[in-house]
Amino acid sequence: MRFLARVAPLIALLALVAELSLRPMAESDLFFRIKAGQEILTQHGLPGRNLFSFTYPDYPDVDAAWLFEVGAAALYALGGFPAIVIAKTVVLLAAFGLAFWLCLRRGVAPAPAAFALAVAAFVGRERFVERPHIFSLLGAVGLLLAIDRLVATTGKRAARVAVAVCVGVAVWANLHAGAFVAPVLLACAGAGAWVDRNGAKAHLRDSCTPALRAGAASRRLAFTALAAAVAVFATPIGFGLLRYLHLHLTLPGLHPVDEFRAPTWLSDPAVFVFGAAFVVSLFAAGRHRLTWTAALPVLAMVLLAVRSIRFAADAALVAAPLFAVNLTAIGARAGARWPVLTAAPIPSVGVTALLVGMVAGPLVAGHGGGGIGLDTRELPLSAIAFVNEHGLRARMYNDFETGSYLLFEPGGGYPQHRVFVDPRLPAYPPAFHRLLGRADVTRTEWSAAMDGYGVDSALLSYAGINPRVSWWDPEVYALVFREEDARVFVRRLPRFAPLIASREIPATFTFTPQEGTATLPLEARPAASPVPDCEWQRRLGDLMFELDGAASPRVLAAYERALAAASNCLRADEEARLAAWLGAIALGAGRAADALALLDRARAHGDFELGTLTNRAVALESLGRARDAAAAWDEVIARAGDSPLATRARERRARLRE
């Protein structure tokens, strides 16, 4: 029973981490990671330049995660996206399993250890995706274990730990640039040990042994930090890592990226709640001694997280063992007052039940499942199929996330086609990021920029919130695809004239931060459009009807302008459809003569639908043309068969002939 009480919280914790990790693959960065790994394996080395883009093909590409990319490519070849999702989950399980062990080594009971780490998992769950930073989570926990060992051991054992740290940091640096935190955390731990040494001197003046030990630990940690700083550069990019890290400092000023922003209460409430709970636990834990050796590395990670939300998961995981120590101290104080409530195995049972409930809750509510394959919901697959069908990929603008999938797309990615841009941020110059990061670009500026890059088509996703949708001048670019949340434009070039003539949508777009993207119908046909005026008005009416959701005055006006053109300007089926629809509207408004003219026009162009024939018979009746109305009802009867409509038509015809 005692063994089960110790193991059950760990099992429940790992189950929670697995539940948060085993989700359909929806991480857009993984696509270019797989493609980069495939290229590295094919070329037996890093390309070193931006092969994937037609905008800056010779710009240096600093690849700080090549080992992750090679692994992702190998796993994808082995078992597709499910294999990568499973591998990611294994890494996260290892990180939280090691963190649990670290807590136990620090004297924490299993229940508070599992609870603190579960809270950290919930805070960082949005980072449980198929990206290289999962190895930074694992590396940070491994580093905390190494710090404890370097403090507790001396001589050759400490030297072996230091060597292992350096080797681990070198591997970590080839998986993710987040390895730069290794020397930082080691240096902070060394500084903390030095502070603890001075504290030991102040409180234990009759004995210098604790102070001497703390001083030796401080020196070991400092030397290991220096060695780890060297190990960070043991990668193919070497000191290029500094350029990579510097970009992450300057890029937010050029091109806002969500993961580089500071945490906010509105977007990240779990981070603030965890931080508040951690601070409260420090005071509620009482007089148990807080060592700066353990606290300063946590403080360093918290400061990184305060500056950039991308470090929030790392900070939560690094802080969780200290949080667990505080919870254990709080539990000890509570046990002295309420021994029955805190007696074993009540804490373990309570925490296990809580975590099992968190795992089972989504499944019971029907929010779990969905497999671990590719999640296609955010991919503009219909738009990509359209541009592939019409040969628009060669010099096509695309957004960051879409560019990642376009590189990877089986049968259509690199090297068949290069992209405008993709999420490999270091592979593009600052001026390019500055252009894409601006919100005040005019259509003239944007057209000039696209001319400079030789862009002749564009695929934009997230159209409802994407300001760039509004930057395409309809006099220069025709909108030819508008479905779901994707838009496709093509330049008004002779080779695209047939596509534009058959597919152009008479719309442009406006954007405001408050309202997002709004569709604006183009009543005036652009001068270079090959679409005839009558067809333009017909399409304009269709668009307005979709936007208005009803037969609004502007819809009717557009359709009437389309029909006012010369005969046979519209396709026969379109002319018949419009005439029949407007005829029904006129009939409903009591304008029988106008309705009859329109319905006769629809009939003359091949519309013998029952609705059209019925409306025509009613219009003739309303005009008092009994003989013609009876003949019209005969047509309805002939086509209606044995339906109730045929019965009513016979009754109407009989009354007309009386």
The Cα 469–Cα 458 span in angstroms is: 10
Read off the pLDDT of residues 419-476 as tens digits, 9 standing for 90 and up: 999 999 899 999 999 999 998 899 999 999 999 999 999 999 999 999 999 999 999 9
Name residues of the chain where pLDDT drops below 70.
1-5, 198-214, 287-289, 334-347, 361-369, 567, 658
What pLDDT score does 342 carry? 54
Phi, psi of 455 (to 5 degrees): -75, 130
Which phi-psi region, left, alpha or beta, contains residue 565 (left: φ > 0; alpha: ψ -120 to 50)? beta
What pLDDT score does 344 carry? 62
What pLDDT score does 234 carry? 96
Read off the pLDDT of residues 551-578 as tens digits, 9 standing for 90 and up: 899 999 999 999 987 767 899 999 999 9
Query: How many CB atoms sit inside 10 A of residue 101's CB?
Result: 15
Query: DSSP label at 508?
Result: E
The Cα 181–Cα 172 span in angstroms is: 11
Q: Which amino acid is at 369?
A: G
What pLDDT score does 504 carry? 97
With beta carbons less than 8 A apart as the criterion, state whether 25 and 80 touch: no
What pLDDT score does 365 carry? 55
